[in-house]
């Protein structure tokens, strides 16, 4: 089992630095981002020691393990300067080719749902979904809000919450299916749409606190 920790905790461990002799990845393992060193530390929670470090450049910000616990995905944030997600082979303890998000800049928070890797692209004001089997971004939705920062997605992909730092808002985005048939859409096909509710919140509220109240959403 791979355990995930918020990237902010990486600052606690970044002073250690250096390259460690490789040991096998334990199970469970703790994944810690070392922001200042731009690396991912794989920690054995039993011994409380770093097993190894893997490069995660540039500017690693958030980390999540794949459902099969074989890969770690790391957002390369840079306040909008970067448009990639780093990938680490956890068993092989090595960096793989980064995911190129094209015009989507500032990936911040990552969240697995429905077999896909959901992410915010803060500088582009969107949320997106990367499909690992096809290795492409297969879904993008604009939020219309500034600095779309955090995201929580239901397991069935039917409901999404985002927090938007620059606009001091939270988006509630719900999937709606318009039926086919004589009283629905022509052509006998269903159409998926999204209803978006924008909720103003106090600017003093820290956007990163949003995750703490929504971790069990599902």
- Structural domains of the chain, with CATH: 101-213 (2.130.10.10)
17-38 pLDDT, tens digit each? 444 446 899 999 999 999 999 9
> To the nearest 5 percent, what fractions of the chain are helix, strand and coil?
10, 50, 40
Distances (CA, A) of 146 to 125, 137, 185: 6, 22, 34
Report pTM: 0.82
Q: What residues contact 4, with CB distance under 8 A and at least 6 apart? A: 31, 63, 64, 65
Which residue in the block uniquely carries the two structure tokens 């803060």?
122
3-state secondary structure of 186: helix
Q: How far is the C-alpha of 179 from the C-alpha of 108, rounded, in Å? A: 35
98-143 pLDDT, tens digit each? 999 999 999 999 999 989 999 999 999 999 999 999 999 999 999 9
Q: Centre a 10 Å sphere on the Cβ of residue 170 and count the other Cβ atoms it contains.
A: 20
């Amino acid at each position: 089992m791979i355990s995930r920790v918020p990237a902010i905790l990486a600052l606690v461990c970044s002073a250690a630095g250096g390259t460690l002799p490789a040991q096998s990845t334990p199970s469970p393992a703790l994944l810690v981002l070392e922001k200042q060193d731009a690396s991912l530390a794989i920690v054995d929670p039993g011994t409380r020691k770093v097993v190894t470090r893997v490069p995660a450049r540039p500017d690693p910000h958030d980390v999540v393990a794949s459902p099969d616990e074989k890969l770690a995905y790391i957002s390369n944030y840079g306040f909008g300067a970067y448009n990639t997600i780093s990938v680490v082979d956890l068993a092989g303890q090595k960096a793989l080719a980064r995911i190129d998000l094209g015009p989507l800049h500032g990936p911040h928070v990552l969240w697995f749902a429905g077999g896909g890797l959901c992410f915010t692209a803060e500088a582009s004001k969107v949320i997106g979904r990367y499909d690992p089997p096809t290795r492409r971004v297969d879904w993008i939705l604009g939020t219309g809000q500034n600095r779309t920062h955090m995201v929580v997605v239901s397991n069935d992909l039917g409901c999404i919450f985002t927090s938007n730092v620059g606009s001091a808002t939270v988006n509630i985005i719900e999937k709606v299916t318009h039926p086919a048939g004589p009283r629905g859409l022509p052509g006998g096909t269903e159409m998926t749409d999204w209803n978006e509710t924008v909720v103003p919140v106090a600017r003093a509220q820290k956007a990163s606190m949003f995750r703490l109240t929504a971790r069990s959403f599902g």
